[in-house]
Chains A and B, each alone.
Chain A
């Protein structure tokens, strides 16, 4: 198999692009795709300060590496989630990445800083772990970006993530969520601008980028996410993609160009009526925001071991 560009030996075939690449031209392909995403969707302006949400997985480390390679002023933030060895290894990967490159990484630890961790939160609230995990991460990253004076938050959501979320939103006709499923969420009072520069890259491509760049990311899957609905949607889409390359890209980008606008009014309506949280000042629909309520409920609770939490299953009250 030969590189489509230089005819040298190829190391990866991208059927959805009908192309094969050698290492150098694959890395250039990734940089070009991220540049196109940033340009097409006006994600980051020259000179802006970027806060990258870093988990230690392939997507966030690839994103951070790509932004730095492209010349952006990008610093990282990672959150210790307390999910046993998985979280420890994830944090180690993020710290090592930053250390090797001399990049600034801001660290927060849920247990040390807020008195809880994700397995404990899932057990006490009797909700799926991804619920408290996602909410905690969004709240803390928003707050860090605003407090730190960053212009924009960049997250490692890739094409597969967006296509899977879109599939879930369509299957359940979550019209409000469809209205705000965008590669850019503009800044609003209490919220920083959020961008997803990897939306044009699949997760096979971000993983390949890390291998070829020598980025040591955590390969193991989060034990809390095993079997969750999001992963099942990804598997379903990959089954379709295998027989019909390009389907995920068409599904997501045709949605953006042809359908997303129809749902925007519902998303806008849902954003109205937000007021500052009485405790932390973050925007919320109630008096106290979901994060402060979670901290109040589970903060200081005795830690629950990871293996006592059943992932991916909603616990009934």
Chain B
């Protein structure tokens, strides 16, 4: 599957099928800090992503201290 990552923007090819939780573990990402977006909706942790899926892993941490 194609995985889009942000900050910095980059793309990875990952073999499916794989669960969202397993994908985040494989990429060493904290599930509290990201959302997984497919199309115009969210994908929960137990969803299985197929080999031909395109997903975005969107960081949610932002901000200056102001």
Q: Which residues of A are at the interface with B, using a C-beta cutoff of 8 A?
A: 1, 10-13, 20, 23, 57-59, 129-130, 133-135, 137-138, 160-161, 164-165, 168, 202-204, 206-208, 211-212, 214, 219-222, 224-225, 228-231, 234-235, 238-239, 241-242
Contacts and interface: CB of A to CB of B under 8 A. Distances in A.
17 contacts: A10-B44, A57-B62, A57-B63, A58-B62, A129-B64, A130-B65, A134-B65, A161-B63, A204-B60, A211-B40, A211-B42, A225-B62, A225-B63, A225-B64, A230-B64, A235-B30, A238-B30
Nearest to B7: A221
B41 A211 contact: yes
A207 B35 contact: yes
A212 B42 CA distance: 8
Contacts of A219: 6-7, 58-59
Interface residues of B, number: 26
A81 B47 CA distance: 40
Contact of B64 (A12, A133, A208): A133
B55 interface: no
B32 interface: yes
Interface in B33-66: 33-35, 37, 40-47, 58-66
A261 B40 CA distance: 44
Contact of A207 (B41, B46, B58, B66): B58
B59 A221 contact: yes
Contacts of A204: 32-35, 60
A59 B35 contact: no
Contacts of A235: 30, 33, 61
Binding site secondary structure of chain A: helix
B41 A23 contact: yes
Binding site secondary structure of chain B: loop
A203 B65 contact: no
A239 B30 contact: yes
A138 B41 contact: no
B65 A229 contact: yes
Nearest to A206: B60
A12 B60 contact: no
Contacts of A230: 63-65
Given A138-B66, A212-B41, 16 more contacts: A1-B44, A20-B44, A134-B66, A168-B65, A204-B34, A204-B60, A208-B42, A211-B37, A211-B40, A214-B40, A222-B64, A234-B61, A234-B63, A238-B30, A238-B32, A242-B30
6 closest residue pairs by CB, A with B: A134-B66, A230-B65, A207-B60, A130-B64, A238-B32, A11-B42
Nearest to A233: B65
Nearest to B65: A230
Nearest to B21: A13
B29 to A, nearest CB: 10
Interface string B10-37: 0000000000000000000011111101
Contacts of A129: 64
Nearest to A207: B60
A316 to B, nearest CB: 20
B44 to A, nearest CB: 5
